[in-house]
Chains A and B, each alone.
Chain A
Amino acid sequence: MADARTSAGIADRGRTWIVLYLATAGVVILLMMVFGLVMRLAQSEWIALDPAFYYQLLTVHGIGMVGIAALGGVAVLWHYLSAHVALRPAALAINLVLFMLGVAMILWAVFIGGFAPAWTFLYPLPAVGSSNGQWQAWSAVLDLTGVLLIGVGFLILCLEMGRGIVAAYGGLGRGLGWHVLFAGSKEKVPPPTVVAGTMVVIVTTLALIAGATIVAMTILNVLFPALAIDPLIAKNMIYFFGHTFINATIYMAVVVVYELLPRITGRPWKTSKVFLAGWTLSTTMVLVIYPHHLLMDFAMPGWALAIGQVLSYVNSLPVLVVTGLGALAILHRSGISWDVVSTLLLIAMFGWMAGVIPAVVDATISVNYVMHNTMWVPGHFHFYLLLGLLPMIFAFMLHLARGEDVAAHGGDLSALLYLGFGLGFVAMFLLGGWASVPRRWAVHLPEWLVWDRIAAVMAVGVVVLATVFVVTFLLRIPRILRHG
């Protein structure tokens, strides 16, 4: 209860870097949101946009949002993991430098060189687009090299977190708590943050290796078109990388829920066997369910697609039953007063759990047959990124901005408005999917404009409120660093 609450700050040896990560993530989030708004305005026919520029924005928005989701997620995970495990901040520095360099290369390649293959850069589009004059060949190489650098940076960071966990707990299996889960040990039980960190290290490392491999192969194909790749294998590698990596970002950020809710409510979030089983299941499932992105590739083996459907459903169980219900139990009748941080955390859990629902629906083959690559798809991932992951990162920013004090401060109107506009924005994607509107179209048919226009209005609200959260954090940076 309230008297058990503390405002304990975390002994984070990389605090300056964490602040830099969050500041970078915050600024880039706003920029990417504005790009998204411009795309919706163009689809609404409220502004005129050259389709080539639209697809450039689409490319940057997609890869940029994935990048900042990872940057923000890593900031959360590192901050809390470093309280349990000795980590070397040099890895944070190397990653940020590579990230900035990669971002500069991507922006140059896209806006100067015209490179616009969407974040998916499906083989052989980068090379074919270069050869038929859609963009310059150098821009394809520059962009993909930038992506490669960013991937290498995150890989270094993952390896460092993995090293720290192995050094502190004796192995990644022990980081996942298998000695507790399978052998009933009560020694050195990993806290939720370490369990989540271990899962992230495992799945992100594998995703980045696959991603770096296909990016390198694509660069070679652009430079030497005779070096061909099997398009289906390339597609598998791209979606294994993309699916796993973006999912890992929310598993990084959810650590703020595990860490802050107990402090806010005075109720502990203990590592139970159910919790450990849930995270072990998630670790496995996240790696094997990516074929749900390939359900319309009829050349895929049938068993892989069946796995994509069934295990996508199974993968929702840990999210819904373990983490979601765990968070609700800690909050229920806890005696707290809501403020912007606690409300953002509540919204985050709702957004994550609710976002799973249209995702599972779309992972059903008979539904995917008439919904794949419609607006339904951005509907479900915007649901759990805009209303799941981003509120976690905003809550973390605001928590740091108030000196890690967990006592309730002020009202939560801004968080509720963010939820309202966010729900409206996401609903228009889902309704667009219901109406069979294709995704990634620069120009829309007149009958589709209604969804686009309402979405554009909602997006303005989302951008304004996100700006409030980010600017609040940026203005407090000197104080955070002084008190750190």
Chain B
Amino acid sequence: MTIQTLSLFLSLAAVAALAAVFLRVRLLAPAGRDYPVVQADAYRLRGLSFWVLVLVGLPVTVWLLRETPYEAKATEPQVVNVSSAMWYWDLDRDTVEAGRPVEFHVTSTDVNHGFGLYDPSGRLVAQTQAMPGYINVLTHVFEEEGTYRVLCLEYCGLVHHGMETALTVTATGGGNG
């Protein structure tokens, strides 16, 4: 399951659960009950929700920090230097090998752009910002061969949607790395 699909399912499940609570409140609102009784139940639920969110959710979000794209150091990576400007990508090589880490050194010569890598099925698999004055190092291991699209993911002016290039991922390798 992709991260996108997992994110969608988790979000939908949580929103649906919340909607069920609201629906219950809506349906039962016309039936009156003494507020102190309702309030006591609500306080219990509030305490329970709070501790579940703290004791379960907080460790989970901290645990998720173990995987970030920032510290991905690879041995013998294939290096691709990426320069961007309105409205084109300039890659110093257009072919890389699947199964081996690729280090993209991404920068911009004018404004902010967004370096977004799309796999052959059209799914976004990795990204970083391309900023003037900075080089962002993005490490990615391509799992599938094929033609990947590079699209701009940061608004950069009137032809933002036309800023695109391609990267070929081969099974056998595309250069010296």
Chain A contacts to B: CB under 8 angstroms: 1-2, 51-52, 55, 58, 116-118, 120, 122, 124-125, 128-129, 132, 134, 230-232, 235, 267, 274, 296-299, 302, 305-306, 309-310, 313-314, 316-317, 320-322, 325-326, 328-329, 331-338, 343, 346, 349-350, 353-354, 357-358, 361-362, 364-367, 369-374, 376, 430-431, 433-436, 438, 440-443, 445, 447
Contacts and interface: CB of A to CB of B under 8 A. Distances in A.
Interface string B117-143: 010001111111101111111100000
Contacts of B162: 443
A52 B29 contact: no
Given A298-B137, A366-B68, A116 B158 contact: yes
Nearest to A433: B4
B28 A333 contact: yes
Please give me the 8 A-B residue pairs with the lowest Cβ-Cβ distance, nearest first: A335-B32, A329-B42, A333-B33, A436-B124, A298-B136, A373-B153, A441-B161, A440-B155
Given A332-B25, A333-B31, A118 B155 contact: yes
Interface in B40-75: 41-42, 45-46, 49-50, 53-54, 57-58, 61-62, 64-65, 67-71
Contacts of A118: 155
Contact of B114 (A116, A296, A309): A296
A1 B65 CA distance: 48
Nearest to A133: B158
A231 B131 contact: yes
A358 B125 contact: no
A76 B79 CA distance: 55
Nearest to A436: B124
A122 B108 CA distance: 13
Interface of B: 2-5, 7-8, 10-11, 14-15, 18-19, 21-22, 25-26, 28-33, 35, 38-39, 41-42, 45-46, 49-50, 53-54, 57-58, 61-62, 64-65, 67-71, 86, 110-112, 114, 116, 118, 122-129, 131-138, 151-162
A313 B3 contact: no
A482 B39 CA distance: 39
A125 to B, nearest CB: 5
Contacts of A232: 131, 133-134
B116 A438 contact: yes
A125 B3 contact: no
Given A232-B134, A370-B4, A334 B49 contact: no
Contacts of B7: 358, 361-362, 367, 371, 376, 434
Contacts of A362: 7
B86 to A, nearest CB: 7
A442 B161 contact: yes
Contacts of B25: 328, 331-332, 346
A33 to B, nearest CB: 21
A332 B28 contact: yes
Contacts of B41: 329
A297 B15 CA distance: 29
A447 to B, nearest CB: 6
Contacts of A434: 4-5, 7-8
A85 B69 CA distance: 50
A152 to B, nearest CB: 26
A443 B61 CA distance: 36
B136 A297 contact: yes
Determine the main DSSP class of A at the interface with B.
helix
Given A313-B61, A333-B31, A354-B18, A369 B70 contact: no
B157 A125 contact: yes
A434 B31 CA distance: 41
B38 A332 contact: yes
A374 B122 contact: no
Contact of A373 (B14, B114, B125, B132): B114
Contact of A436 (B4, B14, B15, B132): B4
A365 B19 contact: no
Contact of B132 (A231, A430, A443): A231
B51 to A, nearest CB: 10
Contact of A369 (B11, B127, B156): B127
Given A366-B3, A440-B155, A346 B26 contact: yes
Nearest to B162: A443
Given A122-B154, A333-B28, A365-B69, A354 B19 contact: yes
B36 to A, nearest CB: 10
Given A128-B110, A373-B153, A321 B158 contact: no
20 contacts: A1-B32, A55-B158, A125-B155, A128-B111, A231-B112, A306-B65, A309-B61, A313-B61, A335-B33, A336-B29, A338-B26, A354-B18, A357-B18, A370-B124, A370-B127, A372-B153, A431-B8, A438-B116, A440-B160, A441-B161
B112 to A, nearest CB: 5
A449 to B, nearest CB: 13
Contacts of A297: 128-129, 131, 134, 136
A329 B39 contact: yes
B3 A370 contact: yes
Nearest to B121: A436
B68 A365 contact: yes
Contacts of A58: 155
A232 B134 CA distance: 9
Given A51-B158, A124-B132, A372 B30 contact: no
A129 B155 CA distance: 12
Given A321-B49, A434-B8, A298 B61 contact: no
Contact of A51 (B129, B131, B161): B161
B29 A333 contact: yes
Contact of B18 (A120, A321, A353, A445): A353
Most chain B CB within a 10 A radius of its CB, from A128, A132, A274, A447: A128
B125 to A, nearest CB: 6
Contacts of B62: 310
